[in-house]
Amino acid sequence: MIKQFLNDPSLLLNAVGEGIYGFDLSGNAVFVNPAAERMTGWSAETLLGKKIHQYHHHTHADGTPYPADECQIYCTMFDGKRREVKNEVFWRKDGSSFPVEYTSTPVYRNNELIGAVAVFRDISQQQQTQNALQDALAQVKHLSEQLQDENNYLIAELNEDWQDSGLVGKSHVFQTMLEQIKLVSETDTTVLILGENGTGKELVARNLYRLSKRNKQPFIKVNCAAFTPSLLESELFGHEKGAFTGANERRKGRFELADKGTLFLDEIAELPLEAQSKLLRVLQEQEFERVGASNTLKVDIRVIAATNRDLWEMVQKGSFRIDLYYRLNVFPIKVPALRERKEDIPYLCSNLIVQLNKRLTKQLKGLSNKAISQLQAYDWPGNIRELQNVLEREAILSKQAVLQLSQPLQAISQSTINPALTLNEMQKQHIITVLKLSAWQISGSKGAAAKLGMPESTLRSKMHKLGISKIS
């Protein structure tokens, strides 16, 4: 049997799955195996003694001519060098083509070049698999970019102090607010949340979202006071690459990210008039354009807005559009100040201490009766946020499981509130105080951003806006 193969090596060549052509120095076919016949449709009888290049290699994949003197198989016949070729096509008898990879190897007899052998294979399936993989990778990249866009906005939100604190309280005014939340949460109605700083307006917005039919879709928050007017439009509506200096890539805005979900516009009163008009259009038409783009994007969003200011007074002064006011004020919810619900303080303290135990790795059991009485006797100009700060300060200082107040609340109040200061000056003073308590650490569970109840990016923006640096 071995002798039979040695006497007739064509038996082996005919058995292989790759196509094989043998050429003389003129480029004429001297051997064509069955696999080559099957792949190309050209029979050996037709090709033997012919220049195969004219049959299966005459043009490139795009149809442009493929001169014989550029053919890598022919080049091997001239210079005697072996070649491996990819990304070419062979043409079938029926006029169709298929992608190939092939090797062109010189053939010598007595050290004299007498021809070449081309071994090729059809890589159509491999190419389809590769294209499918590239498409899948492109889709993964698109989804990754989309998730990254959303993460840029959402990851800080997931760790905020209020995230797990919950709405707690038994007072009549608080229960009335809860009933309003339950009623409107079942609809897509625009909600305007009103209340003083620190009352928990964002917490109300998050609970509206959780109770809504959109609770499986994104919840996107925008702090309208955290961006300059020039950047706010880009943050809201996104921008195209090159739309302005620094726009190095296309970016989705928060309206686009909130599609099918809920958009929370905090501090809505800080919107400049130009952005107010564009917001009105989105609320009315559910469509907008990215900065630097001409095509219109459609969105399906539920808008929740919040402010601590009197919007109607702003309307009368001309700093807030009346049509936008009416569009937002469809269902207003008033969040009561802490001084209006002092009977809820024990419940709030219990809830906040649970959060402090997690964040500060403490094992606090609660407050003494005396401490609770002191808390209920105070008017809380900073509302729940001030209560949170007081409890955190006492938790840090306390060496006991039951908290006591280490100093009178009035002393705390006088040290942090000065009627002669402007709102920005008061904010600056408070932020610096918290930064110092945090050893000027901004991020992390023990950082100032967490203590102030705001995302790290918002705190850095406010520090820049208020001119706060470590030397302050």
Give the pLDDT confidence of 322-371 residue by residue, as tens digits: 999 999 999 999 999 999 999 999 999 998 998 888 888 888 898 999 99
Q: Write the DSSP string, 79-98.
A: H---EEEEEEEEE-TTS-EE
Please report which residue ranges of 25-123 form alpha helices under DSSP H: 34-40, 44-47, 53-56, 72-79
Last residue of a domain, one of 108, 124, 140: 124
Number of domains in the chain: 4
Specify whether 220 is located in the same domain as 99: no
Specify whether 185 is located in the same domain as 320: yes
C-alpha 443/C-alpha 459 separation (Å) is 9
The distance from CA 85 to its chain's CA centroid, rounded to whole angstroms, is 42
In a domain, 429, yes or no: yes
Specify whether 201 is located in the same domain as 316: yes
Specify whether 176 is located in the same domain as 293: yes
| Rg of the chain taking only CA atoms, in angstroms | 37
Long-range CB contact pairs, 459-466, < 8 A, 24+: 459/431, 461/226, 461/227, 462/226, 462/427, 462/431, 463/431, 466/424, 466/427, 466/428, 466/431
Q: Of 301, 399, 380, 293, give the one whose Cα is nearest residue 342.
A: 380
What is the span of the domain harbouring residue 367?
A: 336-401
Which residues, given as ranges, of the chain have pLDDT below 50? 1-7, 155-156, 158-165, 411-416, 472
Q: Which two tokens stand for residue 394?
A: 């006492």
In a domain, 410, yes or no: no
Q: Of 30, 36, 38, give the one whose Cα is nearest residue 77.
A: 30
Q: Of 310, 290, 288, 316, give the one whose Cα is nearest residue 300.
A: 288
CATH number at residue 397: 1.10.8.60
Specify whether 62 is located in the same domain as 191: no
The distance from CA 65 to its chain's CA centroid, rounded to whole angstroms, is 47
pLDDT value for 158: 43
Last residue of a domain, one of 317, 332, 347: 332
Specify whether 324 is located in the same domain as 227: yes
Q: Report whether 312 contacts 325 (CB < 8 A).
A: yes
pLDDT value for 420: 59
Q: Of 159, 175, 146, give the one whose Cα is nearest residue 358.
A: 159
In a domain, 383, yes or no: yes
Specify whether 230 is located in the same domain as 358: no
Give the pLDDT confidence of 126-149 residue by residue, as tens digits: 888 888 888 888 777 777 666 666
Last residue of a domain, one of 302, 332, 362: 332
Specify whether 176 is located in the same domain as 294: yes
In a domain, 136, yes or no: no
Specify whether 204 is located in the same domain as 301: yes
Specify whether 254 is located in the same domain as 327: yes
In a domain, 135, yes or no: no
CATH number at residue 37: 3.30.450.20
Specify whether 351 is located in the same domain as 316: no
